[in-house]
Amino acid sequence: MKIAIIITGVSLAVTITMISQALRQEYNLHQLKISMSESSADIRQKEEAIVKIKNKMNDLKATLGSLNIQMADLKKQKTDDKTRGEELEKSLQTCNTEKTDAEKKKPEMTEAINKLKADHEEAKKTAEKDVQSLKQQILDRDKAICAFVDTTKEEARKLCGISEAPQ
């Protein structure tokens, strides 16, 4: 019987040890499940953050692409503006040289215009004298004709400046 008690005691000790081992393993499994669920939640959050960052990166790449296109356009516009500026500078220099040439010719032109005005005035005075002399010649001719004209006719009276016919 003593052996039975010892075997029972040993089997009871082994059973308690096995139960405690099983409980400890269950507790460890439970802790691992909790830890695993927390880790998976953290991993899910980190994956979502990574997806958001990737989306932001794609958006930034698209924006960067459009900005690169705009930058290329602006560089092209800058070179075009530079060449246009050089052309305008050349045009300005040409205009300035033409202006100085015109300013040099201005006194000559003014003198020529003044000379033409003076010649015109002389020609005008000469023409007026000629017109006056021709008028005088016409009046003299009309007077000579009036001496011989029949004043009874109306045309003759108009020509000679007589208002009424003599009766």
| Residue position matching structure tokens 């005035």 | 121
Q: Mean pLDDT throughout 84-107?
A: 93
Dump pLDDT digits (tens) for 32-55. Answer: 999 999 999 999 999 999 999 999
- Cβ atoms 145, 159 nearer than 8 A: yes
Dump pLDDT digits (tens) for 97-111. Answer: 999 999 898 898 999
Residue 152's pLDDT is: 79
The angle at the Cα of 124, spanning 119 to 129, to the nearest 5 degrees, equals 125
Q: Mean pLDDT throughout 126-147?
A: 85
Q: Mean pLDDT throughout 124-143?
A: 88
Q: Report the amino acid identity of residue 12.
A: L
DSSP per-residue letters across 53-90: HHHHHHHHHHHHHHHHHHHHHHHHHHHHHHHHHHHHHH
Closest CA to 110 of 121, 102, 122: 102
Given pLDDT bands bounded at 50, 70 and 90, which one contains residue 167? low
pLDDT above 90 as % of the chain: 71
